Amino acid sequence: MKLRKALPVAALLALMGASFAAQAYDADWKRGRIYYRAVCTTCHIASPVGSINPSTKTKAEWTAYLQANKHAKGKDTVSQYYSKAYRASIKSGNKAAEKFADTPDQELADDLKAFLIKGAKDGDAPASCS
């Protein structure tokens, strides 16, 4: 009798798990490239503070950089520059920030990482943003 009750519950849990897995976000490196080139390079060109091309680092170096979340030699965070608050503050002068104003921070972070990994010096398509 207990087995009969447990089977429907197990099936329901399996379906719920499959539903949640189907909703996982698949990063869009092209969207990451648009944001990176329109937002990141704009500031780095206006105020040169070091290399900005994705191909200057390896995939492991980009992953470590993003995980450390330190920008400008630790003076601020990388995540601040793709946050909704930052996008709102620059959207009047930046079309990409305006276009992605409502994009969840984590989705944009995943998109940026996908672009950086693809464009890394050991990535599938080393990229230059100059």
Residue 76 pairs in a beta bridge with 71
The more confidently predicted of residues 101 and 14 is 101
The more confidently predicted of residues 45 and 54 is 54
H helices present in 1-130, as ranges: 2-22, 29-35, 41-46, 59-68, 84-90, 95-99, 105-119
DSSP state of 27: -
Percent of the chain having pLDDT more than 70? Answer: 75
Tokens 């079309």 identify what position? Answer: 95
DSSP state of 26: -
d(CA 77, CA 74): 7
Q: Which of 91, 118, 94 is closest to 28 using CA atoms? A: 118
Q: pTM of the entire structure?
A: 0.76
Task: State the average pLDDT over residues 33-56.
Answer: 80
d(CA 70, CA 56): 17
The more confidently predicted of residues 6 and 124 is 124
Task: State the average pLDDT over residues 8-34.
Answer: 66
Q: Which of 103, 24, 120 is closest to 65 using CA atoms? A: 120
The more confidently predicted of residues 16 and 47 is 47
